């Protein structure tokens, strides 16, 4: 995908991709700011389509997290950055959210995340049932990991709360 980075050290690849996506996102935000309320009837709005409306609604409600998470998507990212600009999200809030998203995007692309998606798609075109099974297993694994971590956190919290109550009881007994 980025042939000019072939054979380069990982840090060069990561920071190059980070710079590319950050510059593109800031430019998209700036275009959104310039166009502002006149965006609705523009050719660009028609080109972006309904994704822009969804992005504006999410930006209005959730703001920075939507901008950050949009970098993990394909297609929605541009709409979210444009909507953040058109919706006049404060620049400081936008830049913080955008930088976090740019790091996420650079990690995905520099670590081969798109190769995984391309491989899955190739599998899907050959055997949709197998590709769906692989996706279900992957989702189940992620869900199991999330549940496991939540249980570990809850046990730690209960242990800490138990230790606190024991020390309070010991103090009261004196």
Whole-prediction pTM: 0.58
Tokens of 96: 């913080």
- Virtual torsion, Cα 139, 107, 71, 125, nearest 10 deg: -50
For 44-48, 61-65, 89-93, 165-169, which range has the lowest pLDDT when averaged over its residues? Answer: 165-169
pLDDT tens, residue by residue, 7-58: 778 888 889 999 999 999 999 999 988 877 676 667 767 776 677 677 777 7
Helix and strand numbers (H, E) in the chain are 8, 0
Residue 72 has pLDDT above 90, yes or no: no
Contacts 24+ apart (CB under 8 A), 89-97: 89/29, 89/59, 89/63, 89/64, 93/63, 93/64, 94/29, 94/64, 94/67, 95/26, 96/64, 97/63, 97/64, 97/65, 97/67, 97/68
- The Cα 31–Cα 132 span in angstroms is 39
Task: Say how many Å lie between the first and final Cα of the chain, rounded.
Answer: 70
- The Cα 155–Cα 149 span in angstroms is 10
Q: How far is CA 160 from CA 33, 156, 169, 170, 173, in A?
A: 49, 6, 14, 15, 20
Domain ranges of the chain: 3-111, 117-173
Reported confidence tier of residue 135, pLDDT bands at 50, 70, 90: confident
């Amino acid at each position: 995908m980025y042939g000019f980075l072939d054979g380069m050290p990982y840090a060069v690849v990561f920071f190059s991709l980070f710079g590319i996506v950050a510059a593109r996102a800031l430019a998209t935000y700036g275009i959104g700011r310039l166009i502002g309320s006149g965006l609705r009837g523009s050719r660009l709005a028609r080109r972006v389509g309904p994704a822009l409306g969804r992005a504006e609604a999410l930006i209005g409600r959730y703001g920075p997290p939507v901008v950050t998470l949009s970098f993990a998507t394909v297609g929605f990212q541009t709409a979210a950055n444009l909507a953040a600009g058109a919706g006049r999200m404060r620049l400081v809030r936008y830049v913080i959210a955008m930088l976090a998203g740019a790091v996420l995007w650079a990690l995905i692309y520099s670590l081969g995340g798109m190769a995984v998606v391309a491989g899955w798609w190739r599998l899907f075109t050959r055997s949709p049932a197998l590709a769906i099974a692989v996706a279900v297993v992957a989702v189940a694994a992620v869900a199991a990991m999330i549940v496991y971590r939540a249980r570990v956190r809850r046990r730690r919290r209960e242990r800490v709360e138990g230790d606190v109550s024991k020390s309070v009881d010991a103090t009261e007994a004196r």
